Structure 1
Amino acid sequence: MTSEAEGRFHIVDVSSITSGSQRATLRTDDGVRIEAVYEPYTRGVTDTAVVLAHGFTGSADRPSVRRAAKALAEHAAVVTFSFRGHGRSGGRSTVGDREVLDLAAAVRWARERGHARVVTVGFSMGGSIVLRHAALERDTGGHTDAVAAISAPARWYYRGTPSMRRVHWVITHPMGRLVGRYGLGTRIDNRDWDPVPLSPVEAVPMIAPTPLLIVHGDRDPYFPVDHPRMLAAAGECELWLERGMGHAENAVGEELLGRLGDWLTRR
């Protein structure tokens, strides 16, 4: 391996991920170190980079994230990263609050690499974060040029499905946080939100004129279809309700990833 200092980023070549990939450690505006991976466009040169935001308990190295990155690299360069408290990143997960800073750091890194156009796609928790990021970072160097939220919640504190009740137990119960840390590889902050962050549905009206895509499966065991419909009704966007699809990156098939790549790079 070789490494070099590059501004606020530390770059390491990693041939074991894919040929030409690079791993970096990024620093967020609040000082958290975030691991990130850059995948070059597989078909030549492009001015577009896709920044991919994983779901809760995911990471840049999870097979489902690597699969999505490989598929999207057929359309553009791809940046994947691990949110704080996940994978090799530092800090603790705030489950969608301060993770906006992690995404902004990844977007800035993509622009530092020379990509004039940077788009974001997020799954589940990552979907809520790309929505809030698109609303809050519109006039900064960390802004996005198009955004797609997949399997995202519309509102906070939802406990209407058994799957979400289990997630809330992991987040809020001391034993659940131990399971999260040692069983799921996710370090969770034990403090309540203060203040409560802007919700995804509140963020949507603030995103236009940035192109927005909402994608959701009609068999999602975490968030039923009233969530994407609520998001779509809140502002200007395109809505894809996918028949037979479950939840987030584990449920996204190759055909959908191909359509997603086309949408992200043509908007």
Structure 2
Amino acid sequence: MRETRRSASATHVSGSVNEVLRRPLTAALTLVAVTSAALVVTTASVALRIARNVVTPPRRRIDDVVVRAVDLDAGTVVLSRTADTIVPGRYSLWFDSGRGHARITEIIAVDESSVTRRVHSVQRGDLTRATRARWAGWWHLTPSDLELGFSEVGIMTPIGVAPAWRIDAADTTDDWVIQVHGRAVTRAEGLRAVPVFRRAGFTSLLISYRNDGDAPASLDGRYALGADEWVDVESAIAYAVEQGARRVVLMGWSMGGAIVLQCITRSSLAHVVTAVVLESPVVDWVRVLRFQAAAAGLPAPVRDAALGMLASHRAARWVGHTAPVDFARLDLVARAAELQVPMLVLHSIDDGFVPSDGSVALAAARPDVVTLEHFTVARHTKLWNYDPSRWEGAVSSWLDSLETRQRPN
């Protein structure tokens, strides 16, 4: 009887000990589960925000340059030192949330935190009141800055009329160049290229496209990264043909390069395009987005989740798209065999935004049609700003060498 009681007591003690040990273990496992779930939710939330940012046209640009001092009598401005503001050349400085604009030129002095540069001129606003600004590659704001005659025309696209600038060649010609700007900017980006093409005898058409702030918006109001925008370029080609163009060169800047590449591989009017010029182009979006994620310090799981959401039918509604992004369709390195026309690619090795390895890979895949002009130091879409003589010389020489401009018999 005594042994039985002791055994029962021992069982009770053992059970109590097990329960005591089980409680913290259960709590720990619950904490791990909750933490893991929270981590998954956080990762998904951040990834969704990133995915949306990729395809959502920004309402405003970030003023990330500090204006430390302005002396217009001396013609100088002191700015915070960044990877862009210390590059030699001539550039735009947007201030007052984009309402003000100044042209900035030579570097006068540089220290660890600031750079002093020459103020060429102020087109808009009061620079002396500016405290923050944004650095850009523009130099001309409208065709009027080129002191050339131009006309504002409308391109009929499938979603409405998109405004464009037409700058006719000095002499009658049937050679046209269509400029396609990049992400989060407007058609003014291509004005830098007008003079060199005009000297070569081209009429220039600088177009807008869906969701860029000038052209009509699509139903979802989102960038398709080239997958839909190319249709608006096709409409511009149709307009040029109606106006007498027989040979068309397409020039794309940054995301405009991705749009151009989609157009020449998908349009029924691709046969009219005799050559392509790409400046700092996106030729493979996955490369670009991975590069930008790494530069931003994003963990690989967040990056991959964002890419997965962009490519997912199920997540398209969350991202704001009517359809997922077909990254394989947008990868022109993998589809390089489809390229049929001569192509000049201009890219800076230290682009800083769109890595040049895509352009290098494209040139390696199709050396028979792709000519790669590699710059250093120049940064993203600012090759002309950094070295206009070399940039215009490269474009001019390449245009002169094109057999595709020979008149048909």
Structure 2 match to 1:78 = 204
Q: Secondary structure of the residue that 2:166 maps to in structure 1?
A: strand
CA distance in 1, matches of 2:156, 2:295: 31
Give the CA deviation at 1:32.
3.6
| TM-score, normalised relative to structure 1 | 0.74
Structure 2 match to 1:246 = 379
Contact 1:35 1:88 in 2 (8 A): yes
- Summarize the alignment of residues 35-184 of structure 1 with structure 2, pairs less than 5 Å apart: 35-42=163-170, 44-60=171-187, 62=188, 64-75=189-200, 76-91=202-217, 92=221, 93-137=223-267, 139-140=268-269, 143-157=272-286, 158-161=289-292
CA distance in 2, matches of 1:108, 1:213: 23
Is the counterpart of residue 204 in structure 1 residue 361 in structure 2?
A: no
Give unpaired runs (5+ residues) of structure 2: 1-141, 298-302, 307-318, 403-409
Give the CA deviation at 1:200.
2.6
Give the CA deviation at 1:163.
9.2
Q: Which amino acid aligns with 1:54?
A: H
Contact 1:100 1:133 in 2 (8 A): yes
| TM-score, normalised relative to structure 2 | 0.50
Give the CA deviation at 1:83.
1.9
Give the CA deviation at 1:117.
1.0
Contact 2:349 2:376 in 1 (8 A): yes
- Structure with the larger helix share: 2
Q: Which has the higher contact order (CA 8 A, sep 6+)?
A: 1
Mean alpha-carbon deviation: is it higher for 253-262 or for 19-28?
Answer: 253-262
Give the CA deviation at 1:262.
4.0
Q: How many residues align?
A: 228
Structure 1 segments of 4+ aligned residues over 4 angstroms from their partners: 14-19, 162-166
CA distance in 1, matches of 2:324, 2:203: 36
Give the CA deviation at 1:52.
0.8
Structure 1 match to 2:392 = 257
Q: Which amino acid aligns with 2:348?
A: G
Q: Secondary structure of the residue that 1:118 maps to in structure 2?
A: strand
Q: Which amino acid aligns with 1:87?
A: G
